[in-house]
Structure 1
Amino acid sequence: MPPEPRPASSFAIELPTALLARVRAGDRAAFEQVYRWFERPVFTLALRICGDRDEAADVLQETMLKVIDRIGDFRGESPFWGWLRQIAVNEALMKLRRGRRHADELPLDDGFEPADDLAPPPPAAADAVLLQRALAALPANTRSVLWLYHAEGYTHEEIAALMQRTASFSKSQLARGTRRLRALLDPETSPQTEAAHA
C-alpha cells in the first residue's frame, strides 16, 4: 500500500516575484500584504505549539519582525512560504522552551509501542473548537509534535532536529499524543478509559 501523501501546509501560499521584490526594496505596503497573507497560518501554528493566544500573538509579531530583518537572507532556493514557516516554527518552539509551564510530553512508561504507520486523528478533529480544546489538554511538546507532523507535514527527522531530540522521541510522542487526542475527541470514550491512558 503506497504511503499517504503529506498534508499541504497552510503556509503554502505562492508569493509573486514582483511582490517579493517590493518587500526586499522596503516597500511597506508590500510587506503589509505579505503580513495579511501569512498572519493566519503563523498565528495558528503558534497557537497549536504554544497553546496560548497571547503567546501566539507574540510569536506572530516576532516572526514578522524577523522576516523584515532577514529578507535579504532569503535566496529563493525554496518557496518563500517554506522559509517563513521555518522562522515561525523556530519562534514558537523558542517561546515554548522559555515558558516551560507544563509537563513537556506524555510519559513513556505505559508499555505502549508506537506504530510506524499511524492514522490521523478522528473526524471529530475537523471541528476547530473541539480540536483546540483537545490540543490544549495535551502537554506542550506532544502537541507540537502532533501539529508539526499532521498539519505541517514535517518528518520525524525534521521534528527531531527542530526540537533537539531524537526521531524516536517524535514517533513516540506522535503515537501517544494521537491516542490521547482520539480519547479526548471520541464521545464514545468513557472517562475510565481515558483515565487508564493518563
Structure 2
Amino acid sequence: MDRHAPQAQVHASAIVDDGAVLGPGTRVWHFAHVCAGARIGAGCSLGQNVFVGNDVRIGDRVKIQNNVSVYDAVTLEDDVFCGPSMVFTNVHNPRAAVERKNEYRRTLVRRGATLGANATIVCGVTVGEYAFIGAGAVVTRDVPAFALMAGVPARQIGWMSRHGERLPLRIGGNGEARCPHTGDLYLLQDGVCMLVPRGDDAASQP
C-alpha cells in the first residue's frame, strides 16, 4: 500500500506523485511514474515503465501494458486496452526549439477500445467505442465505433464485436451480423455500426 494511492497497489520502484488519484484495486508496476494531476479509476493495471502525465484522465478497468507513455491531453474511458509500447502524442508539429505546450491537441479513446502493440495515436483524434487498432497501425483521423483499423496510415479493414471478434460486415455496405462468440447482434447502416440491445433483437426471441 503506497501513501500516495490509498486502496491501490504500487510497486516499491514506482513513483506516484503527491496529488495523483488512483482508484481502489488499481495496480502500478515496476518503474512506472504517475504525475500529480493524473486521475485514474478503479481496477486499472499500469505495466512496467508506464508514464502518466498530469492532464490525463483514465477510467475504470483500463489496462496499460509495458512501456506506454500517456501524455497530457489524453483521456481513456473505461475498459480501454493499451498494448505494449504503443504511442500517444499531444503536439501535431513538434520542434525541439519551439515551445508548443499551449497547442496540445486532445485525444479521446472511448470505452472498450483496443490499441494494439506499437500502434501510434496521433493527437487530436477520437477512437470510437470498442474500436480495434491493429499492431503497428498509425491513426491520423477519427475512428468509428467497432471499426477494425490497420496500416500506416491506418485505414479501416473491417468491423469488430465488443468481445473482440471480427464481424462479417462489408466496409461501405449495410447489413447485420452476430458476434461468433457471444451471439450479440450488430447492425451496420450508412457507415455506423451499432450493438442491438438484447430486448430489441427480434431474432433472439423464442
TM-score by length of 1: 0.27
Larger helix proportion of the pair: 1
Larger strand proportion of the pair: 2
TM-score by length of 2: 0.26
Q: Which has the higher contact order (CA 8 A, sep 6+)?
A: 1
